[in-house]
Amino acid sequence: MSAPAGTVRPDPSAGTVDEALADPSEADVGGPELMFPVVPGEALAAARAAHDKLGQDTVVLAMGELLGVVDAFVVTSGRNVRQVRTLVEEIERQVKTDDGLSPLNIEGLKDCTWVLMDYGDFVVHVFQPETRSYYDLEHLWAGAPRVRWEVEPAR
């Protein structure tokens, strides 16, 4: 079965999946087949957009197997209100430009301590550092595989 259009199935041999998933030979013998997470390509575009505006500690979590209602979380931080707002604007602009997709809803723009951008298949969380630390989504969803999204440096 192939992945739906607009999704990315990370290639473990290309090093695109977190080390915990990168080597299928590490799967338990006789256990369930190791499945690599499928995340919407737009979620990776959102992560790259955050990177372009200096988002801090940006991660993409494959949520499909754990949550069922969303395929991925993109989590990033800005140092202050101004940067959080800039990150939200850039993510919205780049995802719209690259993929023609606009968020279904955006919450939290009033105080910009935690802005949630709901794209349906994926959700972007843009935090200020104190709020991110308090809610600690990466710890809460520690069972979610982390998907590599980083832009490869030019050689």
What CATH number is given to the structural domain containing 44? 3.30.460.10
132 in a structural domain: yes
Query: Count of domains in the chain?
Result: 1
Task: Using CA atoms of 85, 90, 91, 94 in order, give the dihedral in degrees to the nearest 10.
Answer: 160
Say what the pLDDT of residue 33 is.
37
Higher pLDDT among residues 21 and 71, named by residue: 71
67 in a structural domain: yes
Q: pLDDT tens across 67-88, in order?
A: 889 999 999 999 999 999 999 9
Tokens (6 digits) for 138: 């990466």
13 in a structural domain: no
70 in a structural domain: yes
What range defines the domain where residue 119 resides?
37-147
